[in-house]
């Protein structure tokens, strides 16, 4: 018995020592994330720094495109949550629909802009995110060993380009903002605003560093080069000049613009894929040679965006993938393949028109969704492709698609390049069937804008008809695989230089620059120039390209912005057409509000709100 | 030694118990004072043979020679007596000061109930009528029986409930219920599997530990409560075979009333401003059905009568010398839900052997194996289509797009269920465990126990979408040629998920009683380990193969093949526990413990946490001076302690990067793709333990000769250092959120349980238990800083309860006369009107208020058991109550006639505003401007369970060779009353989801 006990105990002790003979507690509790990359093991090589830079390129590029449909407002579709507002949603050039239901919430009612507006927060967030992606690259540079100095300098220059651009846009949109000089994982709640001039200065410093380190022309299609950095440098000097009144800044802006223009003259003669007389090739049955093309037309031909096509005007492009590569590696396709228009389904007949229809014994509905709408010609009705689908969110204003082209100005290649059509009544039983809908036919406070776009449906040349990945309501619509997107063209640099000259007192020089741009489009030369002339010219030359809100917000300094106020009062959908909104007194603000969340989160210090907001 | 153990087990299996001649015995039962005891149960152990004492305390019984008598009566300590050769018995029962059970299961041991200072609810599910109700998982058996425990219900077969003990403590718990789940401990070891792995019929009892001292033993993992599950063991006696079988019919307990065809047409026309009988917006399909008067009830279309079948069989027994007991069991449950395509099948095998090898050494072994199958696709239940949609093709096959080509593409809800998707979810879980306990021969009362469990769970998800599933609305013919167009989009994947866990406990216990002193001291060193690995392989594009006959087994033939997931996580914990229980004169009880825990998931400098606890109890009724006649027993108790919660996932402190192609970002330069790398999560190395500090006070009292037993607990708790994603300024890192340690939530509550033995007669007993629980919480701190501010975005308000419903108060419908409101707010008649709280005429964010709180006001459950002769009736009512502030939920569907901005969706049937019929409660049916927050009280009372059983009289049972048999019928969820809640079950609170199960069961329990 005793022996048994001892044997058993011995066994028990042996068992215990075996099962407990593991490692020390600290070893046992150590984490080893086998399948996860963390910052510490993600920066080993220069190629990884470049990969981190590519993240910044993607953010930057996506912010620079327009998303005509709401579901395209994400990076997955070559758009960004901030891109439509940056491009001018609610400004003088672009606006959304204002049906009854969206009257109080749409951004285009800029008079009602509040600090809680989510779109403004998107702009703030996207800009700081871009800067932090670039800052992470600079941070990662400290982790990579034996980095080749030439490589290091190029990587750093690209990162600084993005930082400079972010702070340029921040200064333009919000004024002075907190300057975050490095990537920081620490919790921080005591940010303080720099002044607007300081913010411009920070942008200038970074852009100058970018100019110094970038190659003369982009090293690859899609990359930044000296040209694009100087272009934004010019804009940053111009902005700081307006804020501080310093003429030295205007001179610096002119100099930076000169550097761009000297290496990137605008295209004044025909070039590229559709300009070759005698080219017998075709695309989708459409001959390559386009006899009625113009230099301006050639700028927007697929394949003509890069410098390799002989295009000197292109400063930087967002390179899009071809289907073959996109289907394997992923990526983005130019979503701007469909025309833009607001959500027409929200618009209804006016009471008079309803009465008229009733008298004719017809159920009125809306012009696009009445009884017996024409399903054959317009499948999908207001949800169909002819009215840009149910997700349509943005369209041009009367100012940008009519007013700026009036009179002499109609004789202009650029006017032809822009496509626009009026939505017609699709209801077969309506007496107005197939007639273009007029504004006063609709219930107020509905504003109507046309369906428009820059280059969409001239012909089927360059479309990838085989790979239309989406079909909505029985109709295919294709993304334009391989059609790039301009980040900037030197035509805009001319207009920046014109503005710098004008503000510096050289009106003649300004006029000369404007007319250089106009001459290329076969438009008649102007005889006088002021700031509004430049804004009009930007609307013509850079329709659907320019970031309009930053332009307008940049026009003022030191708490006043008469230029923006005038533009908005006269041209925005939010005041011009709708009596209900026209009654409003113009708001006092001259900048976007600092987003409410930013102020609320900053518990350790006070971030002052911009004037004019509650 | 192990060999010996197995030999013993094997020998036992082969033992054929010998039967001896039955004979008659008689006797008398009395209490310590010699008073005869009436109605004492005398049962031959392991059988249903038994009787009760009469008014003189006498009994007569025929027993087999090897019988063991079990003598039991409420309020007295049960006894077991070996009959042997005796025929006459004088039995003295001692009063049970320890109430019903002598011991309470606590962490890493047991403690005498008298000495227990904490708060625990014990439910003997094995023997109660609850076992006769069709529960699909073990936790379900606790529903309504444990005060302080809140459990979600689901209508989906195979779904596991979310639990909450003593209120919401973690701020993030509403978004992520998994962080607030209680810890489950099975037979003394932390259970690493899923509750679905446990066969409910093998459970003997379940305890819910709630106060800090009881929880303290599990320190870092216990802040949300602990549920201790004790499984059945073999009892002394010959092998006994138990069979249980039941068949349950399952239906939906509530059917939302949607608009029928004509009402639907009226609604759609009203939405668009058309004439009431206009049909121009209809598709051709709808038009045809409208003309033919053919409507489809889509709820009915996806529903079916579910059938749940449960079978279990086990063999158990133990040797007379108590050296060995065993239980082997198997069960099979096939649960077909009331929604088509929903079927959950589980098979389990359980075995347990315990051996007392000699006086000093005992050992046990257990093995659990479960196999689960949850195949197929469940229909989407969220959309309600036009009643004139058409689910079938002319040839009778299913139609994919039920409205037609040119309308919103409404997918037939059964399309994915039956047409061209193979989906399998299969898993098995095995736990093998054992323990060895050594009593030190040299020190009386000192023992050392080592317990270990090793669990492996493998789950495979396989899914394949055949080309047939992918046809488009424009495809009018469903032919092979049509299908072949979609071969390039056919795709599938196989996911293998593997979980390996183990727990190892070293327990050193010293228990000793010296005269008036009782000491129980425990030292524990424990480690656990939890590793998860997931691999997912995807295949896309089968155009190169020509068909997809092989389904997911042919993924290797796909044109594109990817490993899309490769995941590995490891979570380890270490714990040290020291605990002492001390009692003086069985009246004064003290319990103190200290636990120190380390966990791998926290930052390097924050891995360790300390969790102390102290409790005291005072059995005041044992004082000589305590002479309150109606009070038989009274214990007062008070405890304090800290517990932790590991709400962090492994690697949650690290900043993660997305790299390469799988990172999802690609840029093109000169036609060449470059994959981007990006930080995807911002880490925080400072994350540490979430701690709950709580006080618990209460009493247990027996009244009126133990007719009433009343337990009440009051508690307050404070949960600090919570980990959740907080919104951060974007400027520093480009991130908007970061996990951070912060915040404080306070809870307080009352739990009370009153049990009444209303009738205690020989043939007729009736008892009832009323459970009451009330919990309130308050958000005390959020993000810290100088001044705490509300986080309106996330609905978090300082000083207010969690679950606040915040927004504009509904003030009815805008009418023509509300001219000023319309002008100032841009509204038109028929729009929603919000209450202008600040009276400035304009609806601004300042007009938002707290409209109510989601947590219930309180809940009460009443269960009652009536036993008459061979009949037993069990009823359980559960009630959740709302008041003016609590128990509220948004129910916009009760007001609004459209959802999700979808023009053609049907809704529940109620009126709406029209220019002709200017309702002041229901807005217009389309684009009503304004924000609707319509809040209703969801309080309800439901008959949760009812069970009527009949035990076959023993003599009949014997005749057919059984030692006992019981047949029963049960029902669950038979009705509910929710006076203020509309259009759905008050617990589901969404008419677009599946409602709850309503079941009727017939079952049979047989013992051989």
Span A128-143, pLDDT tens digits:
999 999 999 999 999 9
Helix, strand, coil percentages in chain A from 3-state DSSP, rounded to 5: 45, 5, 45
- Cβ <8 Å between A220 and B793: no
The pLDDT, as a whole number, for residue B508 is: 93
Determine the pLDDT at residue B605: 81
The pLDDT of residue A468: 63
C-alpha to C-alpha distance for A293 and A271, rounded to whole angstroms: 10
**Predicted local confidence at residue A500, as pLDDT:** 97
Residues of A in contact with B725 (CB under 8 A): none
Write out chain B residues lying below 8 Å of A25, CB-based: 574, 598
Measure CA B197 to chain center: 13
A205 pLDDT above the threshold of 90: yes
Query: What is the interface pTM, i.e. ipTM, of the complex?
Result: 0.91
pLDDT tens sequence across B580-604:
999 998 889 999 999 999 999 888 8
Q: Cβ of B358 under 8 Å from any chain A Cβ?
A: yes
**Cβ separation A365–B730 shorter than 8 A:** no
pLDDT(A455) > 80: no
| Residues from chain A contacting residue B436 (CB–CB below 8 Å) | 12, 15
Angle (nearest 5°) at CA B806 between B804 and B808: 155
Cβ within 8 Å of B, A 75-134: 75, 99-101, 103-104, 116, 124-125, 128-133
Ranges of residues in chain B with a pLDDT under 50 are: 1-20, 98-101
Question: What's the rounded Cα separation, in Å, for the pair A112 and A568?
Answer: 13
CA dist., res. B849 & res. B872, Å (int): 51
| B190/B202 Cα distance (integer angstroms) | 17
The neighbouring-strand residues paired with B437 are: B362, B449
- B348: Cβ contacts below 8 Å, ≥ 6 apart: B197, B198, B199, B202, B329, B330, B331, B332, B368, B369, B370, B371
* pLDDT over 80 at A507, yes or no: yes
CB distance B913 to B921 below 8 Å: no
Whether chain B has a CB inside 8 Å of the CB on A363: the answer is: yes
The predicted pLDDT at position B723 comes to 82
Compare all CA atoms of chain A with the CA of B561 and give the residue at the minimum distance.
A328
What is the count of residue pairs from A and B with beta carbons less than 8 Å apart? 258
- Can you tell me the distance from the alpha carbon of A530 to that of A454, in angstroms, rounded to the nearest whole number? 26
* Chain B residues in contact with A379 (beta carbon < 8 A): 406
C-alpha distances in Å from residue A545, one per residue of A65, A86, A231, A582:
8, 11, 15, 28
Nearest partner of B421 among B493, B367, B475, B347, judged by Cα: B493
Residue A477 has pLDDT above 70, yes or no: no
- Reduce the DSSP state of residue A202 to 3 states and report it: helix
The helix/strand/coil state of B78 is coil
Q: What kind and span of H or E run contains A28?
A: helix A25-28
DSSP A525: P
CB contact under 8 A, B1 and A8: yes
Q: If pLDDT is split at 50, 70 and 90, which confidence band does A474 have?
A: very low
Q: Which residues contact B609 (CB under 8 A, 6 or more apart)?
A: B219, B220, B596, B597, B598, B599, B644, B688, B689, B691
- pLDDT for the residue A16: 60
To 5 degrees, how large is the angle CA A45–CA A49–CA A51? Answer: 110
What does the alpha-carbon distance between residue B809 and residue B832 come to, in Å, rounded to a whole number? 10
Distance from CA of B551 to the nearest CA of A (A): 23
Q: Which one is predicted more confidently, A351 or B568?
A: B568
Distance from CA of B807 to the nearest CA of A (A): 15
Give the closest of A12, A104, A346 to B361, CB-based. Answer: A12
* Token duo for residue A250: 């205007």
Q: Looking at the complex, report in whole angstroms how far the Cα of residue A322 sits from the nearest Cα belonging to chain B.
A: 8
Residues B653 and B331: their CA atoms lie apart, in Å, by 42
Residue A350, phi then psi, degrees to nearest 5: -70, 165
CB contact (8 A) between residue A50 and residue B665: no
Distance from CA of B577 to the nearest CA of A (A): 15
Using a CB-CB cut-off of 8 Å, the residues of chain A touching B527 are: 22, 28
| Nearest-by-Cβ selection for A29 from B281, B572, B666 | B572
- The alpha carbon of residue B726 is apart from the nearest alpha carbon of chain A, in Å, by 10
* Exposure letters B603-637 (e unless 16+ CB within 10 A, then b): beebbbbebbbbbbbbbbbbeeeeeeeeebbbbbb
Residue B70 to residue B236: CA distance in whole angstroms: 11
Closest of B473, B830, B407, B277 to residue A369, by C-alpha: B407
CB B958 within 8 A of CB B49: no
Q: How far apart are the first and last CA of chain A?
A: 90
Mutation target among B667, B676, B847 for the A interface, most CBs of A within 10 A: B667
Query: What does the pLDDT read at residue A447?
Result: 64
Query: A90, A239, A85, A61: which is closest to A158 by C-alpha?
Result: A61
The pLDDT value recorded for residue B130 is: 83
**Scanning every residue of chain A, which has its alpha carbon at the shortest distance from the alpha carbon of B825?**
A104
Peptide bond into A445 cis (omega under 30): yes
Residue predicted with more confidence, B791 or A98: B791
Do B235 and B316 form a contact (C-beta atoms < 8 A)?
yes
CB A583 within 8 A of CB A444: no
- Is the pLDDT at A388 greater than 70? The verdict is no
Name, of A276-280, A467-471, B855-859, B950-954, the range with top average pLDDT: B855-859
- Which positions ≥6 away from A28 have C-beta within 8 Å? A22, B527, B572, B574, B600
Task: Find the helix packing angle between A118-141 and A46-63, rounded to 10°.
Answer: 160
Nearest CA in chain A to B598: A29
The Cα–Cα gap between B302 and B250 comes to 14
Please give the Cα distance from A309 to B241 (Å, whole number).
Answer: 87
Q: What is the pLDDT of residue B101?
A: 46
3-state SS assignment for residue A311:
coil
CB nearest to B650's CB, from A5, A31, A364: A31
Angle subtended by helix axes A531-541 and A490-503, to nearest 10: 180
Summarised one tens digit per residue, pLDDT across range A60-86 is: 999 998 876 655 566 666 678 888 889
**Closest residue by Cα to residue B808 from B858, B851, B751, B865:** B851
List C-alpha distances in Å: B436 to A21, A231, B9, B455, B506. Answer: 17, 79, 16, 18, 10
Q: Do A597 and B793 touch (CB under 8 A)?
A: yes
Contact B119, B214 (CB under 8 A): yes
So what's the pLDDT on residue B579?
92
Whole-model pTM above 0.80?
no
Q: Using CB atoms, which residue from A16, A54, A373 is nearest to B667?
A: A54
Helical H runs in A287-350?
295-299, 323-329
Q: Average pLDDT for residues A423-440, to the nearest whole number? A: 84
* Chain A contact for B793 (CB, 8 A cutoff): yes
pLDDT at residue A39 greater than cutoff 70: yes
Tell me if A31 and B406 make a contact (CB, 8 A cut-off): no
Of A15, A191, A366, the CB nearest to B731: A191
Residues of chain A found within 8 Å of residue B733, distances taken between Cβ atoms: 132, 183-185
Selection from B782, B716, B775, B792 nearest residue B743 by Cα:
B782
CB–CB of B785 and A604 under 8 A?
Answer: yes
- Is residue A222 a contact partner of residue B668, using CB atoms and an 8 Å limit? yes
pLDDT of A472 reads 46
From CA B827, how far away is CA B834, in angstroms rounded?
11
């Amino acid at each position: 018995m005793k022996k048994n006990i001892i044997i058993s105990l011995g066994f028990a002790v042996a068992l215990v020592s075996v099962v407990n003979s593991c490692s020390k507690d600290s070893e046992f509790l150590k984490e080893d994330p086998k399948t996860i990359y963390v910052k510490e093991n993600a920066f080993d090589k220069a190629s990884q720094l470049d990969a981190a830079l590519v993240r910044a390129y993607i953010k930057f590029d996506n912010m620079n495109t327009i998303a005509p449909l709401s579901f395209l407002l994400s990076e997955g579709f070559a758009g960004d949550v901030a891109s439509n507002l940056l491009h001018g949603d609610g400004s003088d050039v672009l606006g959304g629909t204002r049906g009854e239901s969206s009257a109080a919430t749409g951004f285009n009612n800029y008079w009602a802009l509040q600090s809680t507006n989510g779109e403004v927060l998107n702009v703030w967030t996207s800009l700081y995110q871009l800067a932090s992606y670039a800052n992470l690259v600079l941070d990662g540079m400290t982790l990579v060993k034996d980095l080749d100095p030439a490589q290091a300098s190029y990587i750093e220059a690209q990162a600084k380009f993005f930082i400079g651009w972010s702070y340029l846009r921040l200064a333009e949109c919000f004024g002075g903002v907190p300057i975050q000089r490095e990537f920081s994982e620490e919790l921080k709640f005591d940010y303080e605003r720099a002044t607007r001039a300081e913010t411009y200065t920070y942008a200038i410093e970074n852009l100058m560093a970018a100019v110094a380190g970038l190659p003369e022309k982009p090293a690859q299609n899609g990359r930044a080069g000296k040209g694009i950095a100087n272009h934004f440098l010019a804009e940053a000097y111009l902005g700081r000049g307006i804020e501080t009144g310093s003429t030295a800044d205007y001179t610096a802006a002119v100099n930076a613009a000169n550097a761009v223009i000297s290496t990137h003259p605008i295209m004044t003669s025909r070039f590229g894929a559709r300009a070759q007389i005698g080219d017998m090739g075709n695309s989708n049955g459409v001959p390559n040679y386009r006899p009625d093309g113009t230099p301006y037309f050639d700028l927007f031909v697929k394949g003509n965006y890069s410098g390799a096509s002989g295009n000197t005007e292109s400063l930087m492009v967002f390179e899009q993938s071809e289907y073959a590569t996109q289907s394997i590696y992923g990526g983005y396709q130019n979503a701007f393949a469909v025309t833009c228009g607001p959500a027409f389904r929200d618009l209804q007949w006016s009471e008079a028109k309803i009465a008229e229809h009733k008298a004719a014994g017809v159920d009125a509905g809306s012009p696009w969704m009445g009884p017996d709408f024409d399903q054959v010609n317009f499948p999908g009705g207001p949800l169909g492709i002819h009215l840009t689908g149910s997700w349509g969110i943005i369209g041009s204003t009367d100012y940008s698609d009519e007013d700026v082209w009036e009179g002499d100005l109609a004789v202009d290649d650029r006017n032809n390049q822009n496509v626009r059509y009026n939505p017609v009544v699709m209801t077969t039983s309506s007496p107005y069937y197939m007639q273009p809908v007029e504004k006063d036919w609709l219930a107020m406070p509905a504003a109507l804008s046309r369906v428009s776009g820059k280059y969409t449906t001239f012909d089927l040349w360059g479309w990838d008809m085989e790979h239309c990945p989406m079909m909505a309501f029985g109709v295919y619509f294709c993304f334009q695989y391989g059609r790039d997107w301009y980040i900037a063209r030197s035509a805009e640099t001319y207009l920046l230089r014109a503005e710098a000259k004008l503000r510096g007192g050289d009106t003649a020089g300004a006029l000369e620059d404007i007319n250089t741009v106009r001459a290329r489009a076969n438009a008649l030369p102007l005889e006088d120039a002021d700031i509004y002339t430049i804004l009009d010219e930007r609307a013509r030359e850079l329709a659907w390209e320019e970031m309009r809100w930053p332009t307008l917000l940049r026009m003022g300094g030191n708490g006043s912005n008469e230029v923006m106020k005038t533009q908005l009062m006269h041209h925005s959908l939010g005041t011009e057409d709708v009596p209900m909104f026209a009654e409003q007194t113009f708001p006092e603000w001259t900048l976007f509000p600092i987003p409410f969340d930013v102020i609320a989160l900053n518990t350790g210090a006070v971030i002052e709100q911009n004037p004019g907001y509650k | 030694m192990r060999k010996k153990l197995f030999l013993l087990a094997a020998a036992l299996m082969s033992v054929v118990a010998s039967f001896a001649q039955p004979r008659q015995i008689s006797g008398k039962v009395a209490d310590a004072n010699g008073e005869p005891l009436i109605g004492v149960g005398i049962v031959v152990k392991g059988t249903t043979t038994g009787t009760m004492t009469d008014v003189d305390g006498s009994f007569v019984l025929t027993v087999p020679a090897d019988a063991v008598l079990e003598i039991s009566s409420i309020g007295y300590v049960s006894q077991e007596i070996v009959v042997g050769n005796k025929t006459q018995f004088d039995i003295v029962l001692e009063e049970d000061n320890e109430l019903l059970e002598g011991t309470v299961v606590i962490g890493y041991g047991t403690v005498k109930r008298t000495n227990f200072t904490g708060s625990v609810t014990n439910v003997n599910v094995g023997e109660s009528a609850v076992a006769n109700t069709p529960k699909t998982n073990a936790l379900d058996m606790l529903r309504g029986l444990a005060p302080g425990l809140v459990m979600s219900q689901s209508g989906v077969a195979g779904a596991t409930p979310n639990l909450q003990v003593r209120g919401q403590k973690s701020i993030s718990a509403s978004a992520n219920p998994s962080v607030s789940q209680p810890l489950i401990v099975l037979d003394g070891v932390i259970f690493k599997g899923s509750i679905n792995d446990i066969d409910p019929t093998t459970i003997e009892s379940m305890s819910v530990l709630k106060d800090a001292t009881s929880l303290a033993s599990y320190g870092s993992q216990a802040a949300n409560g602990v549920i201790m599950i004790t499984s059945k063991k073999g009892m002394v006696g010959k092998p006994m075979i138990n069979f249980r079988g039941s068949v349950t019919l399952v239906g939906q307990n509530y059917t939302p009333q949607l608009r029928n065809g004509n009402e639907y047409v009226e609604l759609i026309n009203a939405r668009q401003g058309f004439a009431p009988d206009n049909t121009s917006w209809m598709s051709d399909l709808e038009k045809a059905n409208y003309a033919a008067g053919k409507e489809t009830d889509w709820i009915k279309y996806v529903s079916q009568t579910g059938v749940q079948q449960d079978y279990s069989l086990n063999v158990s027994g133990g040797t007379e010398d108590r050296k060995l007991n065993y239980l082997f069991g198997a069960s099979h449950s096939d649960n077909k839900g009331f929604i088509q395509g929903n079927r959950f099948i589980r098979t389990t095998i359980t075995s347990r052997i315990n051996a007392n090898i000699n006086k000093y050494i005992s050992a046990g072994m257990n093995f659990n194996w479960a196999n689960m199958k949850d195949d197929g696709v469940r229909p989407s239940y969220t959309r309600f289509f036009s009643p004139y949609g058409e689910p079938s093709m002319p040839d009778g096959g299913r139609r994919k797009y039920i409205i037609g080509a040119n309308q919103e593409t409404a997918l037939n809800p059964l399309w994915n269920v039956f047409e061209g998707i193979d989906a399998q979810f299969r898993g098995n879980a095995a736990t093998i465990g054992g323990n060895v306990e050594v009593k030190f021969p040299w020190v009386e009362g000192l023992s050392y126990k080592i317990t270990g469990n090793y669990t492996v769970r493998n789950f495979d998800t396989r899914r394949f979408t055949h080309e047939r599933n992918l046809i488009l609305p424009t495809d009018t013919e469903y032919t092979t040629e049509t299908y072949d167009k979609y071969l390039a989009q056919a795709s599938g994947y196989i996911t293998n998920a593997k979980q390996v866990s183990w727990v190892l406990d070293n327990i050193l216990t010293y228990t000793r009683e010296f005269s008036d002193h009782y000491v129980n001291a425990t030292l524990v060193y424990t480690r656990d380990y939890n590793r998860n690995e997931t691999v997912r392989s995807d295949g896309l594009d089968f155009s190169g193969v020509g068909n997809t006959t092989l389904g997911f087994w042919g993924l290797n033939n796909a044109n594109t093949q990817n490993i899309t997931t490769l995941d590995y996580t490891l979570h380890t914990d270490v714990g040290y526990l020291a605990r002492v229980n001390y009692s003086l004169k069985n009246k004064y009880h003290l319990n103190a413990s200290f636990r120190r825990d380390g966990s791998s998931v926290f930052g390097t400098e924050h891995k360790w946490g300390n969790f102390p606890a102290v409790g005291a109890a005072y059995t005041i009724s044992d004082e000589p001076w305590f002479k309150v006649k109606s009070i038989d027993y009274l214990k007062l108790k008070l405890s304090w302690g800290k517990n932790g919660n590991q709400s962090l996932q492994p690697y949650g402190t690290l900043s993660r990067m997305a790299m390469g192609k799988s990172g999802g970002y690609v840029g093109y330069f000169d036609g060449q793709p470059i994959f981007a790398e990006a930080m995807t999560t911002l880490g925080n190395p400072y994350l540490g333990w979430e701690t709950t500090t709580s006080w618990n006070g209460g009493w247990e009292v027996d009244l009126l000769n133990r007719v009433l037993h009343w337990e009440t607990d009051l508690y307050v708790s404070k949960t600090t250092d919570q980990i959740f994603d907080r919104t951060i300024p974007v400027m520093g890192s480009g991130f908007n959120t970061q996990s951070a340690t912060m915040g404080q939530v306070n809870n307080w509550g009352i739990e009370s349980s009153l049990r009444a033995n209303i009738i205690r007669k020989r043939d007729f007993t009736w008892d009832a238990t009323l459970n009451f629980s009330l919990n309130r919480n308050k958000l005390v701190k959020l993000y810290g800083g100088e001044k705490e501010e509300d986080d309106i975005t996330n609905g978090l308000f300082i000083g207010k309860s969690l679950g606040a419903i915040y927004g504009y108060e509904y003030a009815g419908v805008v009418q023509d006369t509300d001219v000023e409101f319309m002008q100032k707010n841009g509204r038109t008649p028929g729009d929603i009107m919000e209450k202008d709280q600040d009276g400035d005429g304009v609806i601004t964010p300042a007009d938002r208020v707290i409209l109510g709180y989601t947590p219930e006001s309180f809940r009460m459950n009443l269960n009652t058991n009536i036993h008459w002769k061979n009949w037993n009736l069990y009823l359980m009512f559960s009630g959740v109550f709302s008041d003016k502030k609590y128990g509220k939920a948004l129910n916009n569907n009760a007001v609004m006639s459209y959802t999700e901005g979808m023009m053609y969706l049907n809704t529940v049937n109620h009126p709406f505003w029209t220019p002709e019929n200017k309702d002041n409660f229901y807005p217009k049916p389309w684009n009503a401007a304004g924000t609707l927050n319509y809040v209703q009280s969801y309080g309800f009372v439901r008959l949760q369970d009812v069970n009527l059983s009949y035990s076959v009289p023993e003599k009949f049972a014997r005749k057919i060779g059984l030692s006992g048999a019981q047949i029963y019928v049960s029902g669950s969820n038979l009705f509910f009353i929710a006076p203020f809640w509309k259009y759905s079950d008050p617990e589901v609170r969404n008419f677009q989801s599946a409602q709850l199960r309503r079941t009727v069961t017939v079952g049979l329990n047989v013992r051989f």
